[in-house]
Every structure is written in C-alpha cells, then in structure tokens.
Amino acid sequence: MSVMNNIYQATDENITYAASVIKEGGLVAFPTETVYGLGANVYDAKAVASIFAAKGRPSFNPLISHIAEKDFVKEYAKVDSRVLALADKFWPGPLTFVLNRIDDNPALDLACAGLKTVTVRMPNHEVALSLIKKSGVPIVAPSANKSQTISPTTAQHVADSLGDKVDVILDGGACRVGVESTIIDVTGKNVVLLRAGGIALEDLENFLGEKVLISHGNPDLPTSPGQMLKHYAPAHELRINAARRENGEFFIGFGDVADCDLNLSPSGDLCEAAANLFAYMRLADAQNKYPKLAMSPIPEKGLGLAINDRIRRAAYKK
C-alpha cells in the first residue's frame, strides 16, 4: 500500500482500505468533481462530530450527504417527480438538494444540524462513487479544509490544511470543477437557490421552465444553513448554563456534574458531547416527568463554540 504521510493513491486497494476507515468511524478525504471532501459515516455521530473538530467549523451547519446511486435518494429523503427529474438531468454532478427527511432517525441529527431536512448529492467522480459504494453508507462531507480557508482541489491542499487530523487522504488528482456544488431547496412549491456553484442558475431555470428564487440568508426563506434563531426547538423550555438542577427540570450535565439525568460527557470531552447533543436533547424532550429542561455550561472553546451556538438557538425565546 503506497503512502506518503497520510496521502494514498486512489487505487482500488486503497479505496477499499479507506472504506474500512469510514466503517470504523474514521475520517477520509476524497476527491469529487468540485473540491475534496472530508468524509465520515453519516450515521456515526461521533465521526460526524470529529469533522467539525478537524475543520474548526464554528457551528453545526448542515453537511452534505454523498450517495452513489440515484435511486437511493428515494430511501433517504422525501422526493417528488420534480426532484427525480432534476436528478436524472444533473446527477451525477455538482447539484445538491435540500429535501425533507424521510424519517426521524436520530442517527442523522448531527449531520442535519437538528433540522427536519437532509442535504444530499451524487458526485460525478469515480473515486468518490467507489468509496461510497464500498463503505455501504452515505458519506457526509464538507470541504476538506480548515473552516474559512480556501477550498482544496488537490490531495496536497488537504494535507497542507488538515495534516494528520485526517486518517486517509485519497489522491484522485485535481478536481475538474473546482467550485462547490450548487445547493437548491426543493421542499416547497418554489425551487430556492441557497448557494451558487457548479450548476448555473440559468441551466436550472431552463430545465424547470420556471424562475428559481434566490435566498440571501433571510431566515423566513427555506434555507438549510443554521440561520434561524430558534433552530432546534424542543417542546420543553430549556435553561442553559445551569450550574445545578432546579425544581421541575430534567437536567443534562457536562463533565463532573452530580444529580443529572443525562451527561453529554462525564469526562468533559467536547467531541463526545457534540456527538451526544441532539440525541440527548431528543430524549430529554420526549420525557414527561419534568416540565422544563436545563443544561450545564459548556466551555466556549473548540467544539464548545458549536455546541453553545446550537443550544442558544434551542433556548431562544421570541
């Protein structure tokens, strides 16, 4: 197995090895036609959390799930004839759909940032497609670079930006398109462009025979990034930065905290806390013993920034 640092040539043998890393909860950077992605098993919350940690991503924005078969989208999300027609026309390729989730599978919560939508595309790159097929799961992947830095279009770019934070970097050469995919929200009556990218707006409009709306980040438009103040909204009132439980509260702890009903990470591991966050909030919200929820303070560092961003939105009161 030829390797220089953690860069592996994208041979069939090395792709098989990379797929085993995905299955075991590791991170694999891989080429697509747009940019290199930093991939993990979409159903492995701790692996997904490690993506945010590796990138230094400031908040739990929804991540794109990459699939290898067009028909799989029907098992993964709610689709209609318009979505299927767009997929037949533009997939595999740099077009990403925001779709309603087909079920309430909590394993997807971290990748979906707690939203009821899932973001999905089928890349047009043989290495990416082979990796997804061999992994046997959708691979969730943002661009394989530190947050707010230039997107990587070669394996060396990934190594320069992320170093040994990635278990395997598959070298499939330079990316053909070099800009991220176009993202469209197709959950409503109108198609809404959320991000311009590798598929032109005009091409979408010509194919659909209708005007595509453009979102400029207005929280009232159907956007996928976490722009709404009340982003993940539990039915129970949530108090954050709680030093201890008060009467009538279900208490979610962090670190060395006594008398808590759940603990995001007894050892104070922010990656473990991030992986457990949405699942524990669901469990807390599903109980009826206590009318209110409370959560321990989370350090404002590393993944703590993202955790605090999410729980502030969850606790937001109009």
Q: Say whether both 44 and 103 belong to one domain.
A: yes
Residue 23 has pLDDT above 70, yes or no: yes
Residue 217 has pLDDT above 50, yes or no: yes
In a domain, 226, yes or no: no
Q: Say whether both 125 and 51 belong to one domain.
A: yes
SS3 for the chain is CCEECCEEECCHHHHHHHHHHHHCCCCEEEECCCCEEEEEECCCHHHHHHHHHHHCCCCCCCCEEECCCHHHHHHHECCCHHHHHHHHHHCCCCEEEEEEECCCCHHHCCCCCCCCEEEEECCCCHHHHHHHHHHCCCEECCECCCCCCCCCCCHHHHHHHHHHHCCEEEECCCCCCCCCCEEEECCCCCCEEEECCCCCHHHHHHHHCCCCEECCCCCCCCCCCCCCCCCCCCCCEEECCCCCCCCCEEEEECCCCCCCCEECCCCCCHHHHHHHHHHHHHHHHHCCCCCEEEECCCCCCCCHHHHHHHHHHHHCCC
Report pLDDT for 104. 77
Output the domain CATH number for residue 66. 3.90.870.10
Region of poorest pLDDT, from 28-37, 49-58, 240-249, 303-312: 303-312
Report pLDDT for 226. 36
In a domain, 223, yes or no: no
Report pLDDT for 252. 97
Portion of the chain with pLDDT greater than 70, in percent: 92
- The domain in which residue 163 lies consists of 3-214
Report pLDDT for 231. 44
In a domain, 231, yes or no: no
Report pLDDT for 232. 53
Residue 301 has pLDDT above 50, yes or no: yes
Question: Region 195-210: what's the mean pLDDT?
Answer: 91
Q: Say whether both 168 and 283 belong to one domain.
A: no
In a domain, 224, yes or no: no
In a domain, 147, yes or no: yes
Average pLDDT value over all residues in the chain: 89
Residue 29 has pLDDT above 90, yes or no: yes
Question: Region 173-199: what's the mean pLDDT?
Answer: 88
Q: What is the pLDDT of residues 139-169, one digit of tens each?
A: 999 999 988 777 898 999 999 999 999 999 9
In a domain, 36, yes or no: yes
Q: Which residue has the higher pLDDT, 181 or 262?
A: 262
Residue 58 confidence class, pLDDT cut points 50, 70, 90: low
Q: Say whether both 193 and 57 belong to one domain.
A: yes
